[in-house]
């Protein structure tokens, strides 16, 4: 009887093991992910790593500078693309969806989506109008009369103008040449005061009470390479002294040529890494110089210009400084490139900061596309009168 039961048990086991009539796809694969699921999880982990490194190293480590060329819209597009495929990752669908939605929210904030709803568009009576613009190598390739007519039409109280120079090459900083348009500027802006430093021009209808000119050689190219990349001018506004910083920081990286213009010859050579290091460290040095000057400055301040990074909010400028956003738009603003490049305008390189009790109103990005690859910044400021 025991033998019979044993035989019966063996027969049952044998039958179970030998049954191959079921669908192979129904055989459970617990603990194993398909290749697509593994790729999706790996891509999510890689994107998390990128965002963490961006937050930690933007404006702090020269090696990371080349990655700062990533347009902020990528912080939204990448998690959205991953969410499209998350439905097919059945073993991890639920928790991976939560992670990607969180990444989408973080990326949207970093990219600037929704900031415009709290932007500064309301006009304040009595404010002074400021016009800040990277002119695109002055009017080198443009009609000079039309260029100056455009500037006059802005009717600003203070102009903060960058790239007051010519260049032989289109790529940044290759063969730069000093120019002197002071006579034309005084003729075009009668009643204004003029301050010129290296590649910066500040024009003010209000009294300029102090400048901070650097003593640099007039020969060679030291006027460009050794000059500070921010011009500070003290202007009297409603009885208060306000420091205006006209800013143009170096680009985060520089190659042998400009890859955005479609000419890649000579870009990647044995000198590429030294060029990247030299350019990035130059930028960080100028950023440190600006931070130090602002921190030591007791005056209320306005900082505007081309900061050459779309991730400027990850760069701490110091306690008391505040970034401003143009208002009335869900999408973040983009100021570059407006022309000269076969790229869509996906980067905001031009920024506005204030320090102290400076109120900003009527802030908008408009104009300049006919002459430069940058949009101009227009805004009004006011400060409380001294008691």
Each residue's pLDDT, cut to its tens digit, for the chain (387 residues) gives: 445 444 444 444 344 444 444 444 433 444 577 887 889 999 999 999 999 999 999 989 999 988 888 999 999 999 999 999 998 888 888 999 999 999 999 999 999 998 766 655 566 667 999 999 999 999 998 999 999 999 999 999 999 999 999 988 655 566 889 999 999 999 999 999 999 999 999 999 999 999 999 888 777 788 999 999 999 999 999 999 999 999 999 998 765 444 444 444 444 556 678 888 999 999 999 999 999 999 999 999 999 999 999 999 898 898 899 999 997 678 899 999 998 888 899 999 999 999 999 999 999 998 999 999 999 999 999 999 987
Stated pTM of the model:
0.86
Whole domain around residue 54: which residue ranges?
33-111
Evaluated on CA atoms 131, 133, 138, 143, the torsion sign reads: negative
Output the six-digit token pair for 204: 């003010």
Do 173 and 274 fall within a single domain? yes
Residues 156, 233, single domain; the answer is yes
Rounded distance between C-alpha atoms, residue 55 and residue 47, angstroms: 12
Residues 78 and 202 in one domain: no
* Structural domain count of the chain: 2
Q: Please compute, for residue 19, the number of CA atoms within 13 A of its CA located in the half-sphere on the CB side.
A: 8
pLDDT digits (tens, 9 = 90+) for 196-222: 999 999 999 999 999 999 888 777 788
Q: Which of 57, 92, 111 is the last residue of a domain?
A: 111
CATH, residue 352: 3.60.10.10
Distance CA(357)–CA(301), nearest Å, equals 9
What gap in Å lies between CA 251 and CA 217, rounded to an integer? 24
Burial class (CB in 10 A: 0-12, 13-18, 19+), 377: buried
């Amino acid at each position: 009887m025991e033998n019979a039961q044993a035989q019966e048990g063996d027969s049952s086991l044998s039958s179970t093991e030998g049954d191959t009539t079921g669908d192979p796809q129904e055989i459970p694969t617990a603990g194993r992910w398909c290749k697509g699921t593994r790729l999706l999880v790996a891509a999510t982990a890689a994107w998390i790593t990128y965002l963490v490194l961006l937050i930690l190293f933007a404006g702090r480590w020269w090696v990371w500078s080349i990655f700062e060329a990533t347009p902020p819209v990528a912080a939204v597009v990448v998690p959205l693309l991953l969410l499209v495929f998350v439905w097919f990752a059945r073993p991890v669908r639920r928790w991976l969806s939560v992670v990607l939605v969180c990444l989408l929210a973080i990326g949207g904030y970093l990219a600037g989506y929704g900031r415009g709803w709290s932007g500064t568009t309301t006009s304040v009576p009595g404010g002074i109008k400021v016009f800040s613009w990277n002119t695109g190598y002055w009017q080198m390739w443009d009609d000079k009369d039309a260029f100056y007519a455009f500037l006059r039409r802005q009717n600003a109280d203070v102009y903060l103008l960058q790239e007051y120079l010519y260049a032989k090459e289109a790529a940044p900083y290759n063969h730069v040449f000093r120019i002197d348009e002071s006579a034309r500027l005084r003729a075009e802006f009668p009643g204004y005061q003029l301050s010129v430093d290296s590649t910066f021009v500040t024009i003010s209808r209000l009294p300029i009470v102090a400048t901070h000119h650097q003593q640099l050689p007039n020969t060679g190219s030291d006027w460009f390479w050794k000059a500070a990349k921010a011009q500070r001018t003290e202007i009297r506004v409603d009885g208060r002294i306000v420091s205006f910083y006209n800013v143009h920081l170096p680009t985060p990286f520089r190659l042998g040529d400009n890859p955005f213009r479609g000419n890649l010859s000579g870009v990647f050579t044995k000198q590429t890494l030294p060029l990247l290091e030299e350019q990035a460290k130059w930028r960080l040095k100028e950023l440190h110089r600006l931070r130090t000057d602002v921190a030591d400055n007791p005056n209320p301040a306005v900082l505007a210009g081309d900061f050459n990074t779309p991730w400027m909010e990850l760069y701490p400028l110091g306690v008391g400084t505040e970034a401003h956003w143009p208002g009335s738009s869900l999408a973040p603003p983009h100021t570059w490139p407006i022309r000269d490049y076969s790229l869509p305008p996906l980067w905001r390189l031009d920024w506005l900061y204030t320090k102290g009790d400076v109120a900003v109103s009527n802030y908008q990005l408009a104009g300049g596309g006919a002459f430069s690859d940058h949009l101009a910044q227009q805004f009004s400021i006011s400060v409380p009168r001294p008691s």
